[in-house]
Amino acid sequence: MADQGVYVHVPFCATRCDYCAFATWSDRLELIGDYFAALVRQAADAATDMAPVTSVFVGGGTPNMVPARLLTEVLDQLPLEDGAEVTVECNPDVVTDEQMWSYAAHGVERISLGVQSMVPSVLASLGRTHDPSNVYRAVEAIRAAGIERLNLDIIYGAAGESLADWHQTLDETVALAPDHVSAYALTVEAGTALADDPARHPDDDDQADKYRLADEVLTGAGLENYEISNWARPGQECRHNLLYWTQGNYVGLGCAAHSHVDGRRSWSIRTPEGFVEAIESGESVEAGSETLGEEERRVEALQLAVRLAGGVEAAVIPDEVRHLVQTGDDGRARLTLEGRLLANEVAVRLN
């Protein structure tokens, strides 16, 4: 049976990071109770005809800023398969022992911790508020609760971040012995505080140097690159994200959440108050949808697969980008390190 994912969106944050363009709000915290009541109703309704769930990803926003009992009540509605991967994104500043024990008791077995940087000046440049020392405290709480899998999210390319700063973040990251690391290049998204400040925009060459360093340090620590921005110990790849990258099926719960079922994509009402109103009135929360044709799905599958360690059939690689891949004895072409830096150039040429 094919994997079935569920994404749960928590749209609340204490503050908005300067680079964030997600559907999150820091001025609507009074809606938390009503929002989660609506989420429980939506999850219960969706579960009635849902296949056994193999992975759940709770993202945001800051999922762990809301009371754990509200979040676990949503998880309790889902028909989880034995051994399902259940991940919650967490801000290290608000991780508590009690919270982690509650998560663990309700099936959470993976935490994705938003570290971003271990250098205070870089965090300030990103508009982040957490103290790096809280990362260590959070990791202790996660492990003490018996949550077995730990992902650390880090970002490179902030204004003022030196190569030495990034090396420090990488070194402290691997010292925490995570199972998985996501290292993302800072990107400028329209409508963000970062977009409004060109002096803080990242430099492509600087980010390329930092990507190479990330691959060197993370690979040296036993983490294998399995998707351009993701490294994991063997067998610890994020099962839920692999659904996205392989066109798998997933249901989105909450405002602004996206779903995909057999080539049909849909997305929900963007605002939390709009979502609550629709659920309470018994109306659909779907705001729009699109269905990809067979040829569109085929090309998209190639463009996604080339980002993964498994690569694509060598025959689909055009001559003009063949220098960016390496072909194995199995006849599959995989991006080289330099190819990963130019992955979009390769992807757009696949057909």
What is the three-state SS of the chain? Answer: CCCEEEEEEECECCCCCCCCCCCCECCCHHHHHHHHHHHHHHHHHHHCCCCCEEEEEEEECCHHHCCHHHHHHHHCCCCEEEEEEEEEEECHHHCCHHHHHHHHHCCCCEEEEEEECCCHHHHHHHCCCCCHHHHHHHHHHHHHCCCCEEEEEEEECCCCCCHHHHHHHHHHHHHCCCCEEEEEECCCCCCCCCCCCHHHCCCHHHHHHHHHHHHHHHHHCCCEEEECCEEECCCCCCHHHHHHHCCCEEEEECCCCEEEECCEEEEECCCHHHHHHHHHCCCCCEEEEEECCHHHHHHHHHHHHCCECCCEEHHHCCHHHHHHEEECCCCEEEECHHHHHCHHHHHCCCC
Residue whose C-alpha is closest to residue 4's, from 48, 44, 52: 52
CB-count burial class (<10 Å; 0-12, 13-18, 19+) for 149:
buried
> What is the C-alpha separation between 141 and 115, in angstroms, rounded?
15
User: Residue 121's pLDDT is what?
Assistant: 94
Domain coordinates in residue numbering, the chain = 4-244, 295-347
Average pLDDT over residues 195-201: 86
Banded pLDDT at 189 (limits 50, 70, 90): confident
% of the chain with per-residue pLDDT over 70: 100
Residue whose C-alpha is closest to residue 35's, from 286, 265, 199, 280: 280
| Cα dihedral value 265, 270, 273, 279, nearest 10 | -10
Banded pLDDT at 346 (limits 50, 70, 90): very high
Question: What is the pTM for the complete model shown?
Answer: 0.95
Residue whose C-alpha is closest to residue 265's, from 283, 281, 247: 247
Banded pLDDT at 18 (limits 50, 70, 90): confident
Residue 200: pLDDT over 90? no
User: Residue 305's pLDDT is what?
Assistant: 96
Banded pLDDT at 161 (limits 50, 70, 90): very high
Average pLDDT over residues 327-351: 94
Residue 351: pLDDT over 80? no
User: Residue 15's pLDDT is what?
Assistant: 84
Q: Are 61 and 22 in contact (CB under 8 A)?
A: yes
Partners of 332 in the beta sheet? 313
Residue 34: pLDDT over 90? yes
Residue 37: pLDDT over 80? yes
Residue-wise pLDDT tens digits, 112-133:
999 999 999 999 998 887 789 9
Average pLDDT over residues 183-210: 90
Pair of tokens at residue 161: 């971040």
Residue 339: pLDDT over 90? yes
Sheet with 325-327, edge to edge strand ranges: 312-313, 332-335, 325-327
Give the CATH fold of the 4-244 domain: TIM Barrel (3.20.20)
Banded pLDDT at 250 (limits 50, 70, 90): very high
The more confident residue out of 81 and 190 is: 81
Banded pLDDT at 260 (limits 50, 70, 90): very high
Residue 265: pLDDT over 90? yes
Average pLDDT over residues 209-217: 98
Residue 192: pLDDT over 90? no
Mean pLDDT of the chain: 95
Query: Among 11-15, 214-218, 304-308, 338-342, which is the least confidently predicted range?
Result: 11-15
